[in-house]
């Protein structure tokens, strides 16, 4: 709490990322619902995995949070189809604006890929192997979520790799646990502060 207590933007980023993950999961729902999850482990494990995924997709969280899902609109991330998105487009004809708009979108997507690549390279410098592993899994999970949100729905099934699905569910679990821990950690921090201030006050009274 001493490290993050004075940085509310960290919590906002956590909640925002969680919404992105849930929105991606809901968009890929029709594909995931019927996915057999075979290929490793026993048939029983595959059935259990399919049952748990379906249970998550059918949960109240996925059906009752429409207003929360609207907090993020992936269609605005790489807007460039209209002249309003790029300075000077209003003076161009529609065909030229469309071509340049697609060029802007391609450039933005390329920049995003570069950001993910740079973050991955930075993680290679982390000495703790477990920290590096968890960090890369979460980065892959967020990347998988963005891929789901940005691809046409008919291409989702053919574009997702097994490792990306594993990372997506793992990252969703990590972020969910982190959000669940916020109230408990906040309460513990407040109790610590009250105890600390009380001890200081008692010490001042004793010395006086």
Ramachandran class of 88: left when φ > 0, alpha when ψ lies in -120 to 50, beta otherwise: left
* Known active-site residue 125: no
Across 8-36, b (16+ Cβ under 10 Å) vs e yields eeeeeeeeebbbbbbbbbbbbbebbeebe
Nearest-CA neighbor of 15 among 89, 85, 65, 82? 65
In 3-state terms, the chain is what percent helix, strand and coil (to 5)? 75, 0, 25
48 alpha carbon, distance to own chain's centre: 25
* Known active-site residue 65: no
The single residue of 1, 71, 131, 133 carrying the catalytic annotation is: 131
Alpha-carbon span 58 to 69, nearest angstrom: 16
The single residue of 43, 91, 124, 128 carrying the catalytic annotation is: 128
- Name the H helices within 151-207: 153-159, 162-207
Phi, psi angles (nearest 5°) of residue 88: 90, -10
Active-site residue list? 128, 131
């Amino acid at each position: 709490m001493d490290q993050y207590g004075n940085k509310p933007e960290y919590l906002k980023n956590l909640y925002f990322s969680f919404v992105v993950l849930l929105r991606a999961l809901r968009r890929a729902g029709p594909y995931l619902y019927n996915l057999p999850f075979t290929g490793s482990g026993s048939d029983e494990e595959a059935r259990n995995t399919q049952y748990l995924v379906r249970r998550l997709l059918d949960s109240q969280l996925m059906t009752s949070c429409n207003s929360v899902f609207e907090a993020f609109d992936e269609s605005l991330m790489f807007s460039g189809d209209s002249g309003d998105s790029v300075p000077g487009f209003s003076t161009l004809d529609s065909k030229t604006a469309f071509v340049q708009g697609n060029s802007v979108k391609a450039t933005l997507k390329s920049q995003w890929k570069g950001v993910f690549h740079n973050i991955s390279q930075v993680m290679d410098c982390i000495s703790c192997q477990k920290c590096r592993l968890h960090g890369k899994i979460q980065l892959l999970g967020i990347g998988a979520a963005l891929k789901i949100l940005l691809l046409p729905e008919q291409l989702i099934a053919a574009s997702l790799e097994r490792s990306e699905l594993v990372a997506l569910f793992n990252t969703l679990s990590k972020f969910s646990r982190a959000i669940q821990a916020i109230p408990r950690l906040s309460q513990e921090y407040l109790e610590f502060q009250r105890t600390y201030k009380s001890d200081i006050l008692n010490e001042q009274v004793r010395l006086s």
